[in-house]
Amino acid sequence: MNKKKVSLKDIAEKAQVSTALVSYVLNGKEKESRVGHEIAVKIKQIAKELNYQPNYLAKSLRSGKTQTIGLIIADISNPFFANIARIVEDEAKKNGYTVIIGSSDETAEKSWDLITVFLNRQVDGFIIVSSENSEEQIHYLIERNVPFVLLDRHFPEIPTDFVSLNSFKAAYDAGSHLIRGGYKNIGLIAYQSQLFHMQERIRGYRFSLEDHRIPFRPEWLKEVGFNTIEEEIKVGIDDMLASEYAVDALIFATYRLAITGLKYINSLGLKVPEDLAIVSFGQAEAFDLYYCPITYVLQPMHELGKTAVEILIQKLKKPDSEKKQILMEAKLMARDSSRPKAPVR
Amino acid sequence: MNKKKVSLKDIAEKAQVSTALVSYVLNGKEKESRVGHEIAVKIKQIAKELNYQPNYLAKSLRSGKTQTIGLIIADISNPFFANIARIVEDEAKKNGYTVIIGSSDETAEKSWDLITVFLNRQVDGFIIVSSENSEEQIHYLIERNVPFVLLDRHFPEIPTDFVSLNSFKAAYDAGSHLIRGGYKNIGLIAYQSQLFHMQERIRGYRFSLEDHRIPFRPEWLKEVGFNTIEEEIKVGIDDMLASEYAVDALIFATYRLAITGLKYINSLGLKVPEDLAIVSFGQAEAFDLYYCPITYVLQPMHELGKTAVEILIQKLKKPDSEKKQILMEAKLMARDSSRPKAPVR
């Protein structure tokens, strides 16, 4: 560092007041110490002119507060999480908080790294989109009384604050919508994951069939691994189409699965929805620009992000406030990719 | 915090050695202090058993090193930056660094906030995708000897390390490709921005016309504001189509501009490329899934991100190493949206 750092003393000298007074004002404690309004304004003005940079690090060690939120998302390259990060940032900024972001790439190990790094950077609290097998980290945060809110995904067996989607209902609605449109052989491509929201999507899909008395066929459900989605989706779709009960409609449980699946469907020369109707979770520009706009499950992204920030800030103010566990409802946006089948004459 | 924090002293007692020795070992200085291998292993083992968490904050104050990189991107909700963030993270992790990310939303003010917050969190260095009017921040970092590398955008009048794209050449190639395909009236939709890379894209486009002796028409170039792109793109495209020299091809200077423009083109019922050929900067799944795959300027995203990390790490090791200023070449990926015009019979 070339320039000498401006200190409280420098400001005090220029304002002709005591260093303690400057400290009170710059820490927002002028009311407590009965400082006059005019002198407070003058001190802030001088601090600005001298380009005073408070030493947050030393300050953090004393007060333990940094006005910073650590946001851990599951995959920054997924537009759903990138957009939700933007919403969390905007909301946090409105409340005077800065957000630092890390991406766990859906691995528990990287999520652990980020939690450690952020704790060492003294974030006041966390908003976390959990990855699979990260329950231990959640228990760790609870034991240490670190304030946090889970976003988009939660562990039903661990009592935490969370905001997520009613995935069961959303998947049930997707299946029922297709059945009402005359589709009978409906497949689902999901991730192979123990995460609750993924299990709920599978359960909701299966229940929509059952509820409409359509017997489920094992080949209609394909659960693919995170790191092998391209190959596995191809095999899954091939199997579904080759089946005695060949699918006439397909639900994708996430955006990434849909994009990968649609590329393969295009390459097979299949027409949507004539050959195969489509409904997908996740919203994205790619769905709008597809030759046949894709029906999707609209997640209340803005509300999810905003509410997570609100709950966390409430928790930071009142650490003992009651747990908030919020399941939001998705809305099915019916478009051309799932239009009702023409009646058979 | 519920549990008492494990201290160096606790480990020392259990290992029956001095606290100083524990400190040496856990700070990786056993060689300097001639500690036996066996005792070093034992100390590390005990630290692990007791779940010892080093206080990086206090440690940072002493050593000034945190193995953390601050990445400031221009807009996290833009897939180009979200993907590049993922690449930077992966590369940094390979080198033992953790990345904390902030998004400036294309505003210099928010970028200042993030630089301040990250400096106070003691990042070792920065990788920055600059926003407009942020030159002052760059000078600030230079004056304070903070190591940083500019990514994707740079200021030609400020000598810094940077890795970005040869935008002039990329735009020239896009224009020339269309001209070779028989298109004559070629429009460009860009951002109204003084950022160098945007100015270079405009200059490259204009030079491609000039170089092929096509006189430039002012209505062919539309520069839209960041916050009014929807309205302005509509007006721009309307003007280009209503012109005496109505455009038969259109170049978009970024992904976001292309997505917005394509939605409007669809709503007008125009067919790509018969009514209007398209070339765009930025790569995205939406371009692949469009009914007519979009020709795009392939930016070497992986190389850009990887090289930025390499340069920064080199700088951290040798602060006085020579400046690296790297312009990478894009590659035009010709697809259906710009296929050559059928010859007029």
Determine the average pLDDT of the residues in B128-143: 94
Determine the average pLDDT of the residues in B49-60: 63
pLDDT-derived band at B80, boundaries 50, 70, 90: confident
Chain B residue with CA closest to A261: the answer is B289
Backbone CA torsion sign across B111, B113, B119, B122: negative
Q: What is the pLDDT of residue B30?
A: 61
CB contact under 8 A, B143 and A76: no
Q: How is residue A286 written in tokens? A: 């790619």
CB-CB neighbors (< 8 A) of A102 in chain B = 98-101
> If you average pLDDT over every residue of chain B, what do you get?
89
The yes-or-no verdict on residue B33 having pLDDT over 70 is: no
The yes-or-no verdict on residue A58 having pLDDT over 60 is: no
Chain A residue with CA closest to B289: the answer is A290
Cα-to-chain-centroid distance, residue A202: 20
The yes-or-no verdict on residue B1 having pLDDT over 50 is: no
Q: List, for residues B200-216, the tens digit of each pLDDT value.
A: 999 999 999 999 999 99
Q: List, for residues A17-45, the tens digit of each pLDDT value.
A: 888 788 777 766 666 566 777 888 888 88
CA of A305 vs chain B CAs: smallest distance (Å): 14
CA distances from A244 to A185, A217, A241, B91, B317 (A): 10, 10, 8, 47, 63
Q: How many angstroms separate the CA atoms of B122 and A44, rounded?
A: 25
Q: What is the pLDDT of residue B2?
A: 36
Query: For A102-106, B62-66, B253-257, which range has the lowest pLDDT when averaged over its residues?
Result: B62-66
Q: Which residue has the higher pLDDT, A57 or B343?
A: B343
Give percent of chain A above pLDDT 70.
92
Interior angle at CA A277, CA A275 and CA A283, nearest 5: 140
pLDDT-derived band at B125, boundaries 50, 70, 90: very high
CB contact under 8 A, B101 and A76: yes
Q: How many angstroms separate the CA atoms of A297 and B167, rounded?
A: 38
CB-CB neighbors (< 8 A) of A116 in chain B = 53
pLDDT-derived band at A2, boundaries 50, 70, 90: very low
The yes-or-no verdict on residue A211 having pLDDT over 80 is: yes
Q: What is the pLDDT of residue A193?
A: 94
Question: What Rg do the C-alpha atoms of chain B give, in angstroms?
Answer: 26
A135 with A194: CB under 8 angstroms?
A: no
Q: What is the pLDDT of residue A184?
A: 94
Preceding peptide of B159 cis, ω within 30°:
no
Q: Which residue has the higher pLDDT, A59 or B320?
A: B320
Q: What is the pLDDT of residue B29?
A: 64
CB contact under 8 A, A100 and B102: yes
SS3 assignment, position B97: coil
The yes-or-no verdict on residue B331 having pLDDT over 50 is: yes
CB contact under 8 A, B86 and A102: no
CB contact under 8 A, A86 and B79: no
Chain B residue with CA closest to A82: the answer is B77
Q: How many angstroms separate the CA atoms of B66 and B241, rounded?
A: 56
- In this structure, how many other beta carbons lie within 10 angstroms of the beta carbon of residue B296? 27
A151 with A308: CB under 8 angstroms?
A: yes
Q: How many angstroms separate the CA atoms of B178 and B186, rounded?
A: 8
Query: Can you list the alpha helix ranges (DSSP code H) found in B220-275?
Result: 229-242, 255-267
In this complex, how many residue pairs, one in chain A and one in chain B, have their CB atoms less than 8 Å apart?
145
CA distances from B280 to A18, A172, B286 (A): 60, 39, 12
Nearest by CB: A289 against B100, B105, B286: B286
Query: For B30-34, B278-282, B304-308, which range has the lowest pLDDT when averaged over its residues?
Result: B30-34
CB contact under 8 A, A61 and B60: no
Q: How many angstroms separate the CA atoms of A111 and B256, rounded?
A: 30
Q: What is the pLDDT of residue A18?
A: 84
Q: Which of A255, A259, A285 to mutate to test the interface with B (most CBs of B within 10 A)?
A: A285
CA of A27 vs chain B CAs: smallest distance (Å): 16
Q: How many angstroms separate the CA atoms of B310 and A202, rounded?
A: 43
Q: How is residue B118 written in tokens? A: 């990250």
Amino acid at B53: Q
Nearest by CB: B144 against A2, A58, A119: A2
CB contact under 8 A, A102 and B105: no
CB contact under 8 A, B82 and A60: no
B115 with B126: CB under 8 angstroms?
A: yes
Determine the average pLDDT of the residues in A326-335: 96
Chain B residue with CA closest to A147: the answer is B1
Closest CA to A36 of A55, A49, A51, A17: A17
Determine the average pLDDT of the residues in A94-118: 90
CA of B205 vs chain A CAs: smallest distance (Å): 26
> If you average pLDDT over every residue of chain A, what do you get?
89
Q: What is the pLDDT of residue B55?
A: 57
Q: Which residue has the higher pLDDT, A270 or B109?
A: A270
Exposed, middle or buried by CB within 10 Å (0-12, 13-18, 19+), for A145? exposed
pLDDT-derived band at A53, boundaries 50, 70, 90: low
pLDDT-derived band at B28, boundaries 50, 70, 90: low
Q: What is the pLDDT of residue A215?
A: 97
CA distances from A162 to A147, A166, A171, A196, B216 (A): 12, 12, 20, 13, 57
CA of B65 vs chain A CAs: smallest distance (Å): 13
CB contact under 8 A, B262 and A93: no
Relative to beta strand A249-252, strand A186-191 is parallel
CB-CB neighbors (< 8 A) of B101 in chain A = 76, 100-103
Q: What is the ipTM of this complex?
A: 0.72
Q: What is the pLDDT of residue A67?
A: 86
Chain B residue with CA closest to A52: the answer is B116
CB contact under 8 A, B86 and A76: yes
CB contact under 8 A, B263 and A83: no
Q: Which residues lie below 8 Å from residue B324, measured CB to CB, with a gap of 6+?
A: B149, B161, B162, B163, B311, B314
CB contact under 8 A, A1 and B83: no
Interior angle at CA B103, CA A133 and CA A324, nearest 5: 45
What domains can be seen in chain B, in order of their start residue?
8-54 (1.10.260), 67-165+301-328 (3.40.50.2300), 167-299+332-338 (3.40.50.2300)
Q: What is the pLDDT of residue B344?
A: 62
The yes-or-no verdict on residue A56 having pLDDT over 60 is: no
